[in-house]
Amino acid sequence: MAAKIPVTVITGFLGSGKTSLIRHLLQNNQGRRIAVLVNEFGELGIDGEILKSCQVCPEDENSTNPQNQENTQENTNIFELTNGCLCCTVQEEFYPTMQELIKRRHTIDCIVIETSGLALPKPLVKAFRWQEIRSAATVDAVITVVDCAAVAAGTFASDLQAIARQREKDDSLEHETPLQELFSDQLACADLVILNKTDLVDEQQRSQVLELVTQELPREVKIVASDYGKLDPSILLGYQAAVEDNLDQRPSHHDVEEDHDHDDEINSTHLIFNRSFDPEKLQDTLQKLAKKQEIYRIKGFVAVPNKPMRLVMQGVGTRFDKFYDRPWKPKEEKQTRLVFIGRDLQSSRIESELAAL
């Protein structure tokens, strides 16, 4: 019997740096043949395209959506799952994609799954108990990526004293917010925790984040620091944890629930402009929009005037990062495509402000 395919699940909140981590892994794969499943939140695939631009995996002109896998599965190792949060669509999207990858097991050394920032890791891991998957694949490890700057700023972090003060002022506050629960559940399932974006915090803040993360962990787990996800593959792969067999050691807020719900007000919207933008003016406008609306994450590609390369722009709150990833292809339309993820987004307002630039 052939050895099971090891699968690494990479989870973490929106904008924590999961895509950058995987991109670096692909560029430094040390000869490993790695297949990647990307769970986008929204209809416009951005993370999958960023990974395909790593110039390691073969690119394909067609979509890698599962509906088109019959034609593309031999040409790409990047699969985009875009029909919703992966922990909620395991049967609809994950299962058929895994079946296709299992058929290709002789050409794959390992699989990496990037969950959406809203996904709970445990429901996904449970799918590896299904006999059709269990016989061919195993969860090598769950890796949780933490945005140090966001946690240091108090975003979605579990501050028990602050919650106690809020409870004194608000009788309706009886539970943790969904984002706090998600942060806790992602840490509780981890075999490795990566403190990412350490370059954006000082030593005191870094120590505070480390202490908070350590308090959330139900057992001893390796914690490593990283900038831009630049870690050696030996740190990320080869744990042989068989996570699906020891889920009882990974407590979750949803263990007693048959189903779970996400915050219904969290939504995504995407905009496409057939024009270029000055990147500094665009970033300034996006930062102002992030202050006006509750926008958690902005990511996308920007066409820049007189530039032959595509600009990748990513934002977490008002903090932005941008880089040129590859030249525009000869027949590729130079569009600016942006995805916004947040709470109760006003899409028309976002579009009108960008169109006015």
- Taking only the tens place, the pLDDT of each residue in 217-260 is 988 899 999 988 889 999 999 999 999 998 888 877 666 554 44
pLDDT of amino acid 170: 41
pTM: 0.67
Q: Which of 316, 36, 351 is nearest to 150 (CA)?
A: 316
Q: Which residues pair with 319 in a beta bridge?
A: 316
Q: Which of 57, 64, 60 is nearest to 26 (CA)?
A: 57
Element (H, E) at 225: strand 222-225
Which of these ranges, 1-5, 98-102, 152-156, 218-222, has the smallest mean pLDDT?
152-156
Give the DSSP per-residue string, 54-86.
Answer: TSSSPP-SS--SGGGHHHHTTT-SEEEE-SS-T
Strands 222-225 and 192-196: parallel
CATH number for the domain whose boundaries are 5-56+76-245: 3.40.50.300
Contacts of residue 301, Cβ cutoff 8 Å, sequence gap at least 6: 46, 49, 310, 311, 312, 313, 335, 336, 337, 338
Q: What is the mean pLDDT of residues 119-127?
A: 84
Element (H, E) at 97: helix 95-103
Q: In this structure, how many other beta carbons lie within 10 angstroms of the beta carbon of residue 254?
A: 16
Give the DSSP per-residue string, 125-164.
Answer: HHGGGSHHHHTTEEEEEEEEEEEHHHHHTTSS---HHHHH
Q: State what percent of residues in the chain have pLDDT above 70.
A: 74
pLDDT of amino acid 166: 42
pLDDT of amino acid 351: 92
Domain 266-356 part of CATH 2.60.40.10: no
pLDDT of amino acid 63: 38
Residue 46 confidence (pLDDT) above 50: yes
Cα–Cα dist 33/78, whole Å: 12
Looking at this protein, which amino acid is placed at residue 339? V
Helix and strand element counts for the chain (H, E): 13, 12
Report helix, strand or coil for 331.
Answer: coil
Q: Which residues pair with 225 in a beta bridge?
A: 195
Find tokens 């202050």 and name the residue. Answer: 291
Residue 43 confidence (pLDDT) above 60: no
Residue ranges per domain, the chain?
5-56+76-245, 266-356
Looking at this protein, which amino acid is placed at residue 22? I
Q: Which two tokens stand for residue 291?
A: 């202050």
pLDDT of amino acid 285: 94
Q: Which two tokens stand for residue 222?
A: 């390796």
Predicted confidence (pLDDT) per residue in 93-118, tens digit: 677 788 888 888 888 899 999 987 77
Contacts of residue 64, Cβ cutoff 8 Å, sequence gap at least 6: 48, 72, 76, 78, 79, 80
* Torsion on CA atoms 216, 221, 224, 226, rounded to nearest 10: -60
Question: 162: pLDDT confidence band, cut at 50, 70 and 90?
Answer: very low
Measured over the CA atoms of residue 90, residue 134, residue 24 and residue 334, the dihedral's sign is negative
Q: 151 versus 56: which is more confidently predicted?
A: 151
